[in-house]
Chain A
Amino acid sequence: DTAVSQTPKYLVTQMGNDKSIKCEQNLGHDTMYWYKQDSKKFLKIMFSYNNKELIINETVPNRFSPKSPDKAHLNLHINSLELGDSAVYFCASSHGPQPQHFGDGTRLSIL
C-alpha cells in the first residue's frame, strides 16, 4: 500500500531514556515532516526536511533530532526523555508545498 508509515504505534519508556521513532513514505514525496500533538490536541510542527533543507521549529529542544538516511525516511531521535515529551508524534510527507499525507501517529508515554 502507498502510505506514510510510522513505527512503533505505541512507545512507553522511562524518563531519561533515548528513543527513536521511524517514518517511511513510499509516495515518492520530496519533503517530510514531524509534528507533535500534545494532550490538549494542539498540533505543532517540529521539523520539515527535504534533500536540500532542514527547517527546525526553534521551540523544539535540541534533544530532538531528525535523521534522514534517504528521501523515503525521516526518523526522529529523542535523547534524555522528559515527562513533557509525552504526546502523539505524527510524521507526514508531501511533494513540495502540496497537501500532506500523514502517518497514523506514535503515542509516546513517559513514565
Chain B
Amino acid sequence: GQSLEQPSEVTAVEGAIVQINCTYQTSGFYGLSWYQQHDGGAPTFLSYNALDGLEETGRFSSFLSRSDSYGYLLLQELQMKDSASYFCAVNSGNTPLVFGKGTRLSVIA
C-alpha cells in the first residue's frame, strides 16, 4: 500500500513564504501531485512532479526528490486567500492519486 506524511497544520504571515513537506512510502512510484482545497469546496490541482527538481507555477513551486521519497510545496508572497488545506498525493502504478491527510494552512495578517 501507500502511506504519506505531511504536517497537519501550518500558520504563516501574509506576504511570507511557507513550505509544506510530504514524505511517502509506496511501490511503483510514478509521481507526486499537490492539491488545494478551500473549506466547503472541492480539491483543485496545483502541480505534478514526475522527475526530481523544482517546478514553478507563479507563486507556487513544488519539489521532488525520488531518492529521499520526499517532496514539498512552496508558497511565496502569501495571501489571505491561500488559507486552505493542501494535500500531497502519490501516483503509483495501478493505484494513482492516493492522498495524504492534508495540511491546513492558516495565513494571518
Q: Are A and B physically bound partners?
A: no
* Contact surface of B with A, Cβ cutoff 8 Å: none
Residues of A that sit less than 8 Å from B by CB: none
